Structures are given as structure tokens and as C-alpha cells.
Amino acid sequence: MKISADLRAFSERLGHEFSRPDLLRRALTHGSIASATRPDNQRLEFLGDRVLGLTIAEALFSADHAATEGQLAPRYNTLVKGETCAAVAREIGLGEVLKLGRSEMLSGGRRKEALLADAMEAVIAAVYLDAGFETARGVVLALWAGRLANVQTDARDAKTALQEWAQAQGMSPPRYIQTARSGPDHAPEFQITVRLDDGREAAASGRGTKRSIEQAAASAMLEQIERTP
């Protein structure tokens, strides 16, 4: 079965040439354009989530023999969460080849975080079904390589660290205040200010989830505290 030029280019970015291109097509088919003869990618998403999870868990387990379960769990969650899957999808241009219905396309579906994350997991499943676990594992490790290398830093929960510091100082938990929001619903941009009982404030802004911007604000406050304890 022939494969279109855009899917061939995507396969190259992904790092896998499909012997069964129909698997890739299905992995890229959103429910908004699915039909009785054109199934969507939800079943593949279910499988791909498990393939990704096992690959990442194994990689973390092997990389740090001294790490406890309590240290491994937040690293794992950082690497398999939807935001990370969507970020990887953006890096390989997955949104450009997603098959969407007209309404979903017009509403910015190619940039929606949830759609990208789900399709990324479905693509991983397609590689697994096309060539087996070792090949799928290799694709995941290649795409996640930089994140695996930096996961100990990325997995630090700044909000928890800041709350623990505030409590140690006899303060109430930090307050997170949304001071601005802009952009479309599918790609909102937030500005968040974190405030402590002693009047200190730090702010962060950017696109993503509200929680991710709160984490950035907490990180900024921790840096401020380190400079002026």
C-alpha cells in the first residue's frame, strides 16, 4: 500500500518506516472524521499509553539504581503526562498530518494539547503493532532522549517545595492568583502571581495549563528566596 508524501516525511521524523501504513493512518485519525469504514485512533491510544509507560518505567529503573520508588514516580509522571506527549508530538510535526473533521480543524484541533497527546500515544501503538516492542521502545527512547537525560530537574515539584518552605517559616500556604488570561480556548496564555504571607511575590506567564504556569511562578519564587533568604 502506497504512502503519501506527507506521511512518508512524518515517518522519517518519527524514525520508523511502516510496513503497514494503514496502522499509521489509523493512529492519525481523530474521531471527528472517523466512520464505519475509517476507525479512529482511540483503541491505539489505549495500547500506546501502555507501551510508552513500560518503556519509560524501564528506562528510569535502569538509569538510576539508587532511586527509591518515591523518587522514580514523579520522574515517570513527568515523562508520560499529556503535556509531555503533546510537546514531543509538536517537535515531530504530528499536528500537520492529523486527520480531522472540518469543525475540529477550524477550531484549531491541530494545536490542541489533548488531541496531540492522544495521537502521539496512538502512533507509538502503531509502531508496536507494525514492528514489535523493541522497535517501539527504540522510537520512544529516541524521541524522549533529552527529557530522560534531564528528568531529575524537570520532575521537581516547585509548588510542593515552596509550600514546604512556607510552612517551615510558619506561613500559610502560598496563594496563586491569575492576573491575566488571553488567547483562544484551545491555546490559552495565563499570567499567574504567587504571593507569600510576608508580601513577597513572583510571577510567570505563558501558554499551557494553568498548573504549569503556577509551577513556573513557584520556581521563580524559589529562585527569589535563594537570592534573598
DSSP 146-215: HHHHTHHHHT--HHHHHHHHHHHTTPPPPEEEEEEEES-TTS-EEEEEEE-TTS-EEEEEEES-HHHHHH
Residue linked to cell 488567547: 183
pLDDT reported for residue 208: 75
pLDDT reported for residue 91: 95
pTM over 0.85: no
Confirm or deny that 223 is annotated as ligand binding. no
Confirm or deny that 45 is annotated as ligand binding. yes
Kindly give, in sequence order, each residue whose CB lies less than 8 Å from that of residue 81, ignoring residues fewer than 6 positions away.
Answer: none
Strand partners, 93: none
pLDDT reported for residue 154: 62
Kindly give, in sequence order, each residue whose CB lies less than 8 Å from that of residue 184, ignoring residues fewer than 6 positions away.
Answer: 108
Asked if residue 27 lies in contact with residue 109, where contact means CB atoms within 8 angstroms, the answer is no
Cell numbers standing for residue 196: 507569600
For 48, 63, 64, 129, 203, the CA distances from 44, given in Å and listed in that order, are 6, 28, 31, 9, 40
One-letter amino acid at 173 equals: P
The rounded distance, in Å, linking the Cα atoms of 108 and 106 is: 5
What does the pLDDT profile of the chain (229 residues) look like in tens digits? 678 899 999 999 999 999 999 999 999 999 899 888 889 999 999 999 999 999 999 999 999 998 888 778 878 888 998 888 999 999 999 999 999 998 888 888 888 888 999 999 999 999 999 999 999 999 999 999 999 988 876 666 778 888 888 998 999 999 999 999 988 877 788 999 999 999 999 998 887 788 888 988 888 888 788 777 5
pLDDT digits (tens, 9 = 90+) for 181-218: 988 877 788 999 999 999 999 998 887 788 888 988 88
Confirm or deny that 104 is annotated as ligand binding. no
Name the residues annotated as catalytic: 49, 121
